[in-house]
A = this chain, B = another copy of it.
Amino acid sequence: MTGTISTKESHVDVLIVGAGPAGLMLANWLSRCGVKTRIVDKRGTKVYNGQADGLQCRTLEIFDSFGMAQRAWTEANHMLEICLWNPDENGKLQRSDRIPDTIPGISRFQQVVLHQGRIEQFFLDSIKAHSDIRVERGVLPTSFEFNEAKAADFEDYPISVMLRTLSEEDATPQQRQQHQKLADGQQKVVDDGLFRSNLVADDTDDLIRAAEASSRNANEVELVKAKFMVGCDGAHSWVRRQAGFSLEGDSTDYIWGVLDIIPITDFPDIRHRCAIHSANDGSVMVIPRENKLVRLYIQLQTTNYQKNGAKADRSWITPEIILKSAQRILHPYKLDYAYCDWWTAYQIGQRVGNHFSLHDRVFLAGDAVHTHSPKAGQGMNVSMQDTYNLGWKLAHVINGISDPSILKTYESERKTIAQQLIAFDQRFSRLFSGRPAKDVMDEEGVSMEEFKRAFEKGNEFASGTAVNYDASVLVAKEKSATEGTNGTQQIVRKPQLATKLDVGKRIPSFKVLNHADARPWHLQELLKSNGRWRVIVFPGTLTESSNMQRFENLGAALDAPDSFIRQFTPPGKPIDSVIEVLTVHSGHRRDIELLDLPEAFHPNHGHEGWDYWKVFVDEDSYHEGHGHAYDNYGIDPSRGASVIVRPDQYISWIGEVDDYEQMSQFFAGFMKQQVAGKTTQGL
């Protein structure tokens, strides 16, 4: 299978298998970092409707770092409030509570809903605007070889994959089409949403057999040699199978139906997110969406149908059956529809991959390493965040900026998140799928108070902002009890200088003003995902001479010919292209002239003059209020702090304003000294 004389052969830095949200996020990262990338998908087209739809606060922050958030924010439906509906003492449905859908203050974005097809489109546009990378659709990997002898040399290509181009027919999944009765008596054809449901067996092997049998495709094969391969190819991951890894966990007996409809109803909260527990007929989750649509997750009473096991026989599941279940649960309110955009059904299962990486050369991300129920709107987000974590690390290793040792942090950071996600989902699914307790004596029932508390508590997790990476070469903090030791233990840091920041978490965002033009920016807006590390200096009030002295000391050290910034920046590249220094000072903009500050903080770019976009101030704005950044970060304006932030906005280190030595030592733990004359790609 490793190619005949006629087989085309090519080399690539990163081969991405699967062009769903996880794969596209990775391609998007690599498009910004100049990495030679290919991305293939066995399907002939992208997703056009249905599928995942929830976007966490954190995902929107990430999108914004790529300049994509505004499109999502504008097009999406915004969910502001969750209404909880439960049976009253007579079993009649009543609204028992309203809680905010996003915890106020947690992010500048709130959770919104927009269907996966649009999100994939934003990625495709973004990738196209920044690179020549294009998704190759209808392309199937059919064989895999890994040369362990080459695994230790990160300039070599240990991975060999045969790619086969499918015929258009093979790349288009067979869908069962259904005739749908519209309210005016006309009929409409609706695709069977089950074709990508987990109630349906994987078709990868069928596709491989069909492709190999098809004489039309006989010559359309290509042998690709890759430095890295990333499997973003879903719950049935072909890459995972090649690596010999598996998903571990169980599925439950619960079967849920999903309808995307324009509802005709007298239920009062149809434009709110609702969790509805009926007395005896199961539960419904209402997710209002864009374009007047509403998604309903509807628990199905399988006992009526499940004669020989639901998985074996799914023919009983139709939109009409799902709607009837919803109608029973929503009684006495009425629900009907004339327009159904999409429907499906699924069985809840919760599983985590046993390994996320093979020799730090083959990685798995997204559904390939975690599957769970969709109702909490987590899946697409955690999947994209997997590759958001991985992308810059791959780019830095490939571009010769970082030592390959940083790649180990992918599994150590993301496997923990996957496990937390599954634990969250198990708890949430049990509470949501269970019958509500009739009273405190009803031990088999679910307490609606407990459910509400779980919802409120889950909201922080569900926002994506609670992610807290453990100590590693990239995160200078105390190790948890379960971990070993490593080099970063020696790095001196002083997290107490920024009491409201957590090393390991993403830096929260507050508004600061550009010193040169008084424009307010959210701090995160300054941290674009372009592969740069940042040292954010908070020197305090610069009219205090001790603060100015420390600031000038740091400036002198950073500007010295042998400073760590110069050591780690490839010769010929702009001084801010690997590590960018940003300043947020306190006090008043008008008391300080930008050009009086040390040059390290507003570098001279020669023909383009001074850099006016590096120094900011924590002050009141004319039109957008005061961000109170020092207060919100817990930094004392009379002492200040410096903060090292990763290219993915997670905090690595907190220390004294002028602790140049420890900053230098931190970066030396994983960065590569650049030598004049050595060529590097990208950045």
Contact = CB atoms under 8 A, between A and B. Distances in A.
Interface of A: 70, 74, 77-81, 98, 100, 102, 104, 110, 182-184, 262-266, 268, 270-272, 288, 292, 338-339, 514, 516-519, 590, 593-595, 606-609, 612, 621-623
How many copies altogether? 2
Contacts of A593: 268
A292 B102 contact: no
Contact of A264 (B183, B184, B607): B607
B183 A607 contact: yes
Given A78-B519, A268-B593, A100 B622 contact: yes
Given A80-B622, A183-B606, 20 more contacts: A70-B70, A70-B74, A78-B517, A79-B517, A80-B519, A81-B518, A100-B622, A262-B607, A264-B608, A264-B609, A266-B595, A268-B595, A271-B516, A272-B516, A272-B517, A272-B518, A288-B517, A292-B608, A338-B606, A339-B608
Contacts of A606: 183, 338
20 contacts: A70-B74, A78-B519, A80-B517, A80-B519, A80-B623, A81-B518, A183-B606, A183-B607, A262-B607, A262-B608, A265-B609, A266-B595, A268-B593, A270-B516, A270-B612, A271-B517, A271-B612, A272-B518, A292-B608, A339-B608
A338 B608 CA distance: 7
Contact of A590 (B80, B98, B104, B182): B98
A46 B265 CA distance: 51
Q: Top 5 nearest A-B pairs by Cβ distance?
A: A338-B607, A80-B518, A271-B517, A271-B516, A264-B609
Given A622-B100, A623-B104, A184 B590 contact: no
A98 B590 CA distance: 10
Contacts of A264: 607-609
Contact of A81 (B98, B265, B517): B517
A622 B81 contact: yes
A608 B341 CA distance: 13
Contact of A184 (B292, B339, B517, B607): B607
A172 to B, nearest CB: 29
A175 B650 CA distance: 52
Contacts of A74: 70
Contact of A102 (B77, B182, B262, B623): B623
Contacts of A182: 607
A313 to B, nearest CB: 33
* A98, A264, A623, most chain B CB atoms within 10 A: A623
A622 B110 CA distance: 10
A268 to B, nearest CB: 5
Contacts of A338: 606-608
A266 B602 CA distance: 13
Contacts of A339: 607-608
